Amino acid sequence: MNLLARLQRFALIAALLVAPPASAGFIPPPPEVAARSWVLMDAASGNVLAAHEGDTRLPPASLTKMMTAYIATLDMQRGRIKPGEMVTISEKAWRTGGSKMFVDVGKQVSVDDLFHGIIIQSGNDASIAIAEHIAGSEEAFAALMNAEAKRLGMTNTHFVNATGLPDPNHYSSARDMAKLARAIIYADPAHYAIYSQKYFLWNGIQQPNRNLLLWRDDGVDGLKTGHTEEAGYCLVASAQKNGQRLIAAVFGTESEAARAAETAKLLGYGFRFFESRVFHQAGDVLGDVPVWKGAAQSVKGVLAEPLAASVARGELAGLVTRTTFKSPLIAPIRQGDIIGSAEVLQGGKVIRRAAIVAQQTVEPGGFFRRAWDSIRLFFKGLFG
């Protein structure tokens, strides 16, 4: 890139960071990003704020390891594995090429150390060791990865390995990786904090985190880099400023420096022109809903996910919320059944919706309760 082009890029970044928007609610087009595909997402709401080829299927390289680490996190939460549990390193894990944690074949390494090796050192050896420990083989672990991708709505993703080494059937997209990053951030804050660590020392070798933005921006606290010849240089990064968190997923830049610069450009744009608000957290009780023909007369309705929205900076004050419940709500009701919805409206238009679910199960009531409520419902329907 020549000197003039560099100066133009730095000028654009500076403009995004310091220039005020023309007016409240004004959002200019996103900056030019030198990448094959990219997505900018508001973490709280999951809203995509800007994107280019965000659903294009591309090789994710070591971004794959985000899913490897995420499944390990879930297994630790469920008690299936423990951080101090020892893992024997197989010959396959030891022989795998590419980036390494430098674990030795036949040696035992703790789950916690392997977890750090995956996230900070991007170790292919550590990734395979964890995969084999959790699922018995890397192939079986890939099936777990694909099942979790499906659950998260990653519709343009398919994994065949735990490392991201090239394979024609191994692909993902910028939008899908942003979704995965959002799940990682909120799954376990303690484990997510590892993504912000700049170095990890193992076997006498100290390796730096390849996410250059950790050194350049105090707001950046994750997530993961990736690179192969086929994929180019990729980065999924998250930053938090003034209570607002954004996620940027960038695929296919030309160099390590470029992926950092282009990702920073996206994050700067997002923080300058958007703001978000969390109205309710997942699990918040939003109502005590009457139940007909049940053993209990009501059930508590709780949010299945956070109710949040992201809008142009200056427009948050105009947002309102609305809660509606199913009526009549008739037993039996199972815990987790959808019994209503909570919405965020802007100018009368719904811009965000979250399901309200039953906090507990309500079994059918006795004969007389069911009969009496049937009579009441008949007259309620008759007279409105």
From residue 192, give the alpha-carbon distance in Å to each of 138, 182, 321, 364. 23, 11, 31, 43
End-to-end CA distance of the chain: 72
Asked if 97 and 239 sit in the same domain, the reply is yes
Residues 6+ apart with CB under 8 A from 310: 42, 44, 45, 47, 49, 274, 275, 276
CA dihedral 215, 220, 30, 32 (to 10 degrees): 30
pLDDT exceeds cutoff 60 at 8: no
Query: 302 with 286: CB under 8 angstroms?
Result: yes
The tens digit of pLDDT for each residue in 353-373 reads 999 999 999 999 899 888 887
Q: What total of structural domains would you count in the chain?
A: 2
Asked if 107 and 256 sit in the same domain, the reply is yes
CA–CA distance, 311 with 307 (Å, rounded to integer): 14
The tens digit of pLDDT for each residue in 82-121 reads 999 999 999 999 999 999 999 999 999 999 999 999 999 9
Query: 128 with 216: CB under 8 angstroms?
Result: no
Full domain range(s) for residue 291: 281-383
Asked if 269 and 287 sit in the same domain, the reply is no
Give Rg (Cα) of the chain: 24
> Quick check: helix, strand or coil at residue 35?
coil
CA–CA distance, 359 with 210 (Å, rounded to integer): 43
Nearest CA to 69 out of 111, 110, 118, 108 is that of: 118
Supply the CATH number for residue 188's domain: 3.40.710.10
Does residue 24 fall inside a structural domain? Answer: no
Active-site amino acid positions: 62, 65, 122
The encoded tokens of residue 107 equal 């040696």
Q: What is the average pLDDT value for the chain, to the nearest integer?
A: 92
pLDDT grade for 380, boundaries at 50, 70 and 90? confident
pLDDT of residue 25: 67
Query: 376 with 368: CB under 8 angstroms?
Result: no
pTM of the model: 0.87
Asked if 262 and 355 sit in the same domain, the reply is no
Nearest CA to 231 out of 260, 251, 248 is that of: 251
pLDDT grade for 24, boundaries at 50, 70 and 90? low
Does residue 11 fall inside a structural domain? Answer: no
